[in-house]
Structure 1
């Protein structure tokens, strides 16, 4: 997922490592921060594999050398491969689709539609799972009743959020399908 982020950000132009880290901190949200110990080894692997190019630039203040990264043609190819990879349903699906949507302007309509349809399928699978669990809970009426009732409230919340997500993704698919 972070590989997609780095390559996607470099699609917009070269950036130094600190800038990439700051953008990712904001993109990932307050609950998930990327450490230098994760980002810089990833950048090194991408340089070693030829997906990005590293050059050193002297910083105006302090005279330190700043590492500036740029995308190579191999990195561009890898970016498109990552964008075309099917989504897997796991704990990172939400964050990954959000990263992918940020970079939709760099891929074809077919890739955008495939990503959104896979995400829609993921959301519908979650909705079905929650509804099935809710049905079992209602029919079996496990004790204590207060806990069961609170769990049903949680399911109600999840279903409402899921319905809103499904509605938005469906509208986005329809919007993209209308594009020329």
Structure 2
């Protein structure tokens, strides 16, 4: 997921490591953090893999070198493959974050890749909603004990169902919007 983010950000132009970390920190949300200990080894692996290039420049203020990263043609190919890559078959928070990252960089991929991404995400979301509905039906029919826990589980599933239904509707609308776009 973070590799996709780095390549996507570098598709927009070169960036220094601190800027990548700052943008990524804001992109993943308040609950998740990306540390320098995670980002910089990833950047090093991507340089070694030939997907990005590192250029160092002297900074005038403190005399420290500024590390500037840019995407290579091999990195652009890797980016296209990652954008077209299917999601993991489990709908979870990582799937949601991956969709968000992909959507930010949709302008760099063909329409059919955007549609395939949205269609697959919608299928995963619908499978998740079906699972919630099945378990909810079980709780209502079988009425397992303790009752207080069952009632709270039903409230939790109602919350998940409502959020999922709103998200599914938004994704359906987005699919239609992308279909109508000129490529």
Pair in the same fold by TM > 0.5: yes
For residue 66 of structure 2, give the secondary structure of its aligned residue in structure 1: strand
Superposed displacement of residue 60, structure 1? 2.7
Superposed displacement of residue 150, structure 1? 1.1
Aligned equivalents of 2:70 and 2:50: distance in 1?
11
Aligned equivalents of 1:3 and 1:169: distance in 2?
24
Aligned equivalents of 2:60 and 2:107: distance in 1?
33
Q: Kindly report which structure 2 residues correspond to 1:20-39, keeping only aligned pairs within 5 A, or say none.
A: 20-39=20-39
For residue 57 of structure 1, give the secondary structure of its aligned residue in structure 2: strand
Number of the residue aligned with 1:17? 17
Number of the residue aligned with 1:141? 143
Q: Kindly report which structure 2 residues correspond to 1:1-180, keeping only aligned pairs within 5 A, or say none.
A: 1-90=1-90, 91=92, 92-180=94-182
Aligned equivalents of 1:21 and 1:40: distance in 2?
9
For residue 153 of structure 1, give the secondary structure of its aligned residue in structure 2: helix
Normalising by structure 2, what TM-score?
A: 0.96
Aligned equivalents of 1:108 and 1:121: distance in 2?
20
Gaps of 5+ in 1: none
Number of equivalent positions: 180
Superposed displacement of residue 145, structure 1? 1.3
For residue 26 of structure 2, give the secondary structure of its aligned residue in structure 1: helix
Superposed displacement of residue 89, structure 1? 3.1
Superposed displacement of residue 103, structure 1? 0.3
Normalising by structure 1, what TM-score?
A: 0.98
RMSD of aligned Cα (Å): 0.8
Aligned equivalents of 1:58 and 1:167: distance in 2?
50
Would you identify which runs of 4 or more consecutive aligned residues in structure 1 move more than 6 Å? Answer: none
Task: String of CA shifts for 1:134-167, please: whole Å, max 9, x gaps.
Answer: 0011111011212111110111110000000000
Aligned equivalents of 1:75 and 1:39: distance in 2?
17
